[in-house]
Structures are given as structure tokens and as C-alpha cells.
Amino acid sequence: MLPIAPRGPYSGTVPSVTDPRGFVHEALFYDDDEGGAAAIAGFALGGLEAGEPVLLALPGARLDLVRDALGATAGSPDLHWTDLAEAGRNPGRIIAVWQTFVAEATAAGRQPRGVGEPAWPGRSPHELAECHRHETLLNVAFGEGPSWRLLCPYDARRLDPSVLAMARTTHAEIDDPAHWHAAAHRQLEDALPPGPRPRFEAELTAQALAGLRSIVRHHALDSGVSPARAEDLVLAVNELATNSVSYAGGGRLRLWQEATSLVCEVEDRGRLHDPLVGRLRPPLDQRDGRGLWLVHQLCDLVQLRSSPAGTVARIWLHTS
């Protein structure tokens, strides 16, 4: 068992006081399933005994193991469960899960506690790269907000050592918000690896949008995507293409197949300055700026990169 919590070693003991340190972002590296579940259960019990609501956001199989480790306590009304294999299939959706949970707890005058495992074995390299970005952005999203603790487990036996090394950087004991903002902007500017030769490529103009929607739908259905998921992809591409035409004067659309995913990419000369764009749930009364949020909800993976040279939005839809 390899528990590591950079803000102070986590021993599985039950804290007796509410943590006053703001957002505490900890990592737990475990090397066997039962030991990992026991450590997660101990952390959750610590929160419950401190009077804290606890959200366990874990991939399905891990949820079952933790339920078993908690026994009768698993039914506590202060214990909440989310299958991250579904809610966090696209890592870009996960911050909104914590945003809602923390807002509800603090509105009730309570300090929350969470366990979130975004990077699990079986994730693709593209997904794991976005999980690393997600972990950095957690520090930006909550670093200057209310006090709460988030423990992020990592399977040290099955995950590549490079993933574990990246996790150590995002859970480091650094309290300077400027550090995390700089790290997030560096990640936003990192170029994506070039895609393969596209199956389809076209310029984005206002006049071309209707025809491009039809072409994207055709390629999705031809790849074996269900009609409903094909419409999700059409809507996501339309949002990106419309934004590109409206705010960047147009760009370029590319579409290709990669393993079991259909990938669409929109590139233009515009620039994004907010690394959290599309990841935070927009207020109900906000009329503009909801497009990238919608794209994150519709797609299985979203990769956004933006620099002075322009912006690339690459979206993935699994075909099987």
C-alpha cells in the first residue's frame, strides 16, 4: 500500500477537527484493490465522523469495493456516490461534478469532502493526458474558494509510471494560485499531436455550415454510431464551427477515424484565455458562452488547445 498525500501524510486516521487550509488536494497511490478500497473507506469515515458530507466519485468497480469496505456505513445519508466511468467518461465534465457538490454543501453551512479517481487503468493515452490537465485545473477552480478536501486515488500497480509522476506534480503542496494558473495556461498552449490524414476536410464558412452538418452526420452513421449519438456529434461540431465563424472569421474542419472513435477537429486563428472554459457549469441566467459546455456534455473526450497561433478543438465520439 502506497498512500501519498503531499499536504501531509494520510494515515487513514479519523480527523477530529475541520480542516482550515482551504482546498486540500491529496493523492493516494495504492498497489492492491482491497487496500485501496480500505484507505478510501477510511478517508470517507473520517469525513462522516467530522460531520462532513462525502462524495465518492469512482469508476464502477471501485465503487463496489468501497461499498463493501464501508459495510453498513455505506447507507449513510451524508455519503454520496457517483460512477465516474459514466459521469467522468470525458474528464472535462468532472470539475462540474465537484462544483455542484461543493456549492450545495457550503450553502448548507457544511465543509465537504470528496474522493475522485479520474485516471483509471484502461483509459487511453489521450484520456490520461486530459486527466492530468483536469487535476491541474482543479487547483485553479477551487484554489481560492471554500475549505474542503479531495483525495485522488491512483492505481500504482496498473498505471504507467509517467501517469503517477504527473499526479505528483498536480497534488504538490503549493499554495500560490499564480503557480496553478501558470501551469494551466502552459497546458492550454501545449500543441496536440498531429492527427492522421483526415477522411474529410473543409473550410469553415457561414455558407458551408448546413452542408457540413450533413456530412458529419453521414460519416458518424457510416462509422456505426447510433442515430442519437450521431446527432450529438453533429450538434457539437456545429457549436464549434459556429463559434469559429462568429468569433474567428472561420477556420478548418477535419474528421478522421482513430481506433474505435470518430474524431472531429476545428482549427482557427482565435484564442481562448480561460483554461476552465467549458468545464464549469454556466449559471442558468447566462445566455452566452454555453457552447463549449455543451460540447463537453455531448462528447466522449474533448481536447482544447489555444495559443497566440490559434485554437484547436478536437472532439471524440466512441463508435463502440
pLDDT band for position 289 (cuts 50, 70, 90): low
DSSP 40-63: HHHHHHHHHHTT--EEEEE-HHHH
Is the whole-model pTM more than 0.75?
yes
Q: Are 69 and 40 in contact (CB under 8 A)?
A: yes
> What is the CATH number for 206?
3.30.565.10
- The residue among 279, 294, 300 whose CA lies nearest residue 229 is 300
Q: Is residue 5 part of a domain?
A: no
> What is the CATH number for 44?
3.40.50.300
pLDDT one-digit tens code per residue, 192-250? 999 999 999 999 999 999 999 999 999 999 999 999 999 999 999 999 999 999 999 99
Helix (H, G, I), strand (E, B) or coil at 286: coil
Let me know whether 179 and 245 are in one domain: no
Domain of residue 254 covers 200-318
For residue 167, give the C-alpha cell: 499526479
288 pLDDT higher than 80: no
CA 178 to chain CA centroid, nearest Å:
21
Task: Please tell me the total count of domains within the chain.
Answer: 2
Let me know whether 61 and 90 are in one domain: yes
